[in-house]
Structure 1
């Protein structure tokens, strides 16, 4: 069976990104269409031509053939039970393509399956999954992995086709900045990042001489956040993590204008206002259609 492993096209991980043991299984013929979508139109009545106003993404199906190899007849039934246990109907997985190890798809089983027994020790089945939460691929690593370790060609966190650049400015995600001093944050994915839908955390600390507020603006899309707090010390740490905002670990939504920052693909230019200086850390994943 070992010589067949070179045809393996998928690796499975649990929710904690621990590799699932599938040593007696070979996955092949991976089918993944482009993301399904539904166009949205306005008008189309009373002789008015319909106008395209956008599209809504839908969940993406992923289909794989699996070959099951056992050493004897009793082992066949043990392996069959193991497959039923691994691929439970309510178990989320991360599916990683063998040749794109830096990207992962969060998915769940979309239908039951039946193992076709080809001979006493060999069976096949078709597994159909569907993406859960988002239809996009996401980077396995985050930008703070790059900040800490750079991009290691031997690491399974990164790979070709991920939009990564060797430009030093594209590898920096922690910044010590002065007021109105521009700096750039690079989103290597081809999908905009909205903090309510995707992994995105921004930490603001070491704030010096805040004047009743601190504002950070993304000049690329004009998104901004504003901290409205008359008692900001340099030891305070503000974290914008998705929809959650904290100050020193305590809820701080009321200390802001209740606005949030997103990122466009490519470089996003930021500026900070109403303080002399601060440290900003950006920790997010890249997303791909």
Structure 2
């Protein structure tokens, strides 16, 4: 069975199938350029070599080729006009393709280079800057299911049927199917929703990374608690002063967590996308 090729554009309000908007347009292929690492090393006079700094990644290009086959030059003109209207916007958006249907790329408006083959046939090369420096899973983990075929795993681990992202026990595992560590300090999305009752506070410990988040204070079972990236919220109000300002990261693969404290009525949920280099 032949794979159906597609190119889709995801905005804040809708998902657009580009071929349906422009009859005669064909998705040919997509090529992702390699990651560009920044070492952020520091040279100090009088000392050999460099002091290594944290490694970050620059944006990279996603190059997409499209073909158009119309009846005459008027069709070609209309196709080019439609491409301009679709891809040149005042808002950022995501791109997904049939080459990697479970990944999405956060992109800026592209550079478009048309190559006219004849009066009715054109090949377009669209170069998008993926400004985040990584691609993401199409869905977040609160929509996770192994059986729906909508997830890609790129860290060499075979997932099992016990993977889940909501737990009621204080010792549990969170599976990160990314090819990189989820780290809020790099603006990676990670929300940890917590419900529990305590008079003294609690600690969340990721045994794989050594990260510890501690909250000191009372929390009732009917109150909400959210760690959104690096910021904690109690009943939607910032409460960083009642914490150790700890950051929770997720290494690729399985992360074992333990929650300490005199707590009851415990429930925790991790919501994030997988990220890919």
Whole-Å separation in 1 of the counterparts to 2:258 and 2:50:
41
| 3-state SS of 1:101 partner | strand
| 3-state SS of 1:222 partner | coil
Q: What are the Cα deviations for residues 212-231 of structure 1, in whole angstroms up to 9, with x where unaligned?
A: 2121111212212222223x
Q: What are the Cα deviations for residues 3-62 of structure 1, in whole angstroms up to 9, with x where unaligned?
A: xx9694x62222346133324322324222210123444448658244655543111111
Superposed counterparts of 1:30-109, under 5 Å: 30-43=30-43, 46=46, 48-50=48-50, 53=53, 55-88=55-88, 90-109=90-109
Match among 10, 18, 22 for residue 21 of structure 1: 18
Other-structure match for 1:137: 135
Whole-Å separation in 2 of the counterparts to 1:244 and 1:123:
49
Whole-Å separation in 1 of the counterparts to 2:28 and 2:44:
45
Q: 1:64, CA displacement in angstroms?
A: 2.0
- Indicate yes or no: 2:238 matched with 1:251: yes
Equivalences, count: 270
Q: Any conservation in 2 of the 1:140–1:285 contact (CA below 8 Å)?
A: yes
Whole-Å separation in 2 of the counterparts to 1:222 and 1:173:
20
TM-score of the superposition, structure 2-length normalised?
Answer: 0.84
Q: What are the Cα deviations for residues 128-178 of structure 1, in whole angstroms up to 9, with x where unaligned?
A: 11112x2112111222212xxx2124x4x2246575634233x11111124
Whole-Å separation in 2 of the counterparts to 1:227 and 1:261:
13
Runs of 4+ in 1 over 6 A off after TM superposition: none
Other-structure match for 1:201: 191
Whole-Å separation in 1 of the counterparts to 2:248 and 2:56:
22
Match among 208, 212, 219 for residue 220 of structure 1: 208
Instruction: Point out where structure 1 has 5 or more consecutive residues left out of the alignment.
Output: none
Q: 1:268, CA displacement in angstroms?
A: 1.1
Other-structure match for 1:286: 274
> CA 1:251 to 1:276, structure 2 compared with 1: closer, same or farther past 3 Å?
closer
Other-structure match for 2:174: 185
Q: Any conservation in 1 of the 2:146–2:161 contact (CA below 8 Å)?
A: no
